[in-house]
Amino acid sequence: IQMTQSPASLSASVGDTVTITCRASQDITNHLAWFQQKPGEAPKSLIYATSSLQSGVPSRFSGGGSGTDFALTISGLYPEDFATYYCQQYKAFPLTFGGGTKVEIK
Amino acid sequence: EVQLLESGGGMVQAGGSLRLSCATSGFNFGSYGMGWARQPPGKGLEWVSTISDSGAGTFYADSVKGRFTISRDNSKKTLFLQMNSLTAEDTAIYYCGKFPFWGWFFDFWGPGSLVSVSS
């Protein structure tokens, strides 16, 4: 299952709302996770089952979608949110990640 | 607190072997699936391998099948990745990860171990 993220990068300001999209090459129902990675660090789990927040993740992060089209929305960017975000499908092996979206400071 | 710590990375010549270890603490290791993912320098994430809680089930990416072997020692709460016939394309940071009960995605990641293969 191929996962396609867009955009590959975006520039935004603190306080902006941004949306990252992820498209699967076939129906993955809701088996979609999102991760955040900062430079020099391991990825961190944000969302699973399309829209469920991991413990401790701020409520400004939200996920939605189903089937083949999904989105991660950050409502009101904080300085610590500037990072690279990856989606991953876990409907079937091989597990596959999107190519990543880098959120940069404008 | 869940903690994962990889070790065993380093530099190796093409065709060589390395064995990565992932020491864990803070959870009931033997009850959870575990796995490995990797990230070439400056690039995206790639899933490598998964092992079930008992070790009876294993899964591999096509890119490593037949060369890498995942295993675990539940008595020592440690995950392993034996990597043979390494090529330059295997150069990456290797992360171990823990799967939750409800899906094959990592809810916790280790800090990573760099494997560098020279051709």
What's the gap in Å between the CA of A15 and the closest CA on chain B?
27
Instruction: Please give the mean pLDDT across all residues of chain A.
Output: 98
Mean of all residue pLDDT scores within chain B: 98
Percent of all residues in chain B with a pLDDT value above 90, rounded to a whole number: 99
Task: Using a CB–CB cutoff of 8 Å, tell me whether B45 touches chain A.
Answer: yes
Q: How far is B39 from chain A (nearest CA, A)?
A: 10
How far is residue A33 from each of residues A40, A97, B78, B115, measured CA to CA in Å?
21, 9, 25, 26
Among A43, A45, A95, select the one facing B104 at the smallest CB separation.
Answer: A95
Q: Which residues of chain B neighbour A43 with C-beta distances below 8 Å?
A: 45, 95, 106, 109
pLDDT tens across A31-69, in order? 999 999 999 999 999 999 999 999 999 999 999 999 999
For chain B, what is the largest distance between any 2 Cα atoms, rounded to a whole number of angstroms? 41
Return the pLDDT at B119.
87
* Per-residue DSSP letter, A54: P
Find, among B29, B84, B67, B25, the residue nearest to B51 by Cα.
Answer: B29
Q: How far is the C-alpha of A95 from the C-alpha of B46, rounded, in Å?
A: 8
Q: Is the predicted pLDDT of residue B55 greater than 90, yes or no?
A: yes
